[in-house]
Amino acid sequence: MTATQAWIGYAGTVALAVVLGGVVARRRYRVWYFFALFLAVTLISTLMIATWPSRFYTQDFWQAKEAALSLLRFGMALEVAYRTFRAFPGAHATMRWALLFVIAATFVAVVGISDGRIDYRSFMAELQPRVLNGTIWLFAAIAALILWYRLPVEGFHKSVLMSYVPFLLFFTLTMNALGSVSSDRLAWLSYLYQFAYLALMLHWARAAWRRVEEPARPPALRTGMGQPISA
């Protein structure tokens, strides 16, 4: 890792801490518990690797971290789906079948790994990309159904999802390219990934710290004087 990559990584970690601080300070964890947990696990594991590299900068720890984050991503998607669709029975029923199909297809893809053994190489080349593909399809299915039924979406959910799905797609393409590109192209790909991650964290930080705007009320209700006009 070059000095430039290290500094970009530090900036991304600081931005991640700012995101988590905003989620806690603005109490946005109340509208998305799994997202707050995802941020906390990501930040803690990153700090562990940076602070004790001899112990945690290992293939086994990275593999365990990514497995935990994959489960949390699925939890994030399912929580958003529940919070958005629970008040709409018809859309909720369609959503259940769509998500069940995506989860089942992801499970079949993971089980279908040829030799059945999950070492670091097979995790990087086969398992992790398939799980990420499943996560992308899960978020995409939720977004498509929201658009189809024209459902109202929490502003914070929308801001995170609209940025995270393209990033996950780029992350998946990066994972797939690890074993097929030259060292020079791999270095540029690493830079692109780090800048994309930093941009994502900055966007999330802005969304997390944005003040929650309360809906405007008629002047009579704001001042407590007079009676609202009704038809």
Nearest 5°: the CA angle 144, 150, 154 is 85
Question: Is 122 within a domain?
Answer: yes
The pLDDT assigned to 230 comes to 38
Q: How many domains are contained in the chain?
A: 1
DSSP-assigned letter for residue 29 = G
DSSP state of 181: S
Q: Is 227 inside any structural domain? A: no
Which residue do the tokens 């999950």 mark?
Answer: 118
Lowest model confidence (mean pLDDT) among 21-30, 186-195, 206-215, 217-226: 217-226
Structural domain containing residue 166: 7-210
**192 falls within a domain:** yes
52 is written with which tokens? 């004790």
Structural contact between residues 173 and 132, judged by C-beta atoms closer than 8 angstroms: no
Mean pLDDT score, 219-225: 46
- The pair of three-digit structure tokens given for residue 175, joined into one six-digit string: 């994972």
217: in domain:
no
Torsion of CA 90, 92, 98, 102, to 10 degrees: 180
- Output the pTM of the full model: 0.84
Asked if residue 220 belongs to a domain, the reply is no
Is residue 175 assigned to a domain? yes
* Residue 229 confidence (pLDDT): 38
| Cβ contact 111:178 at 8 Å | no
pLDDT: is 62 or 212 the higher one? 62
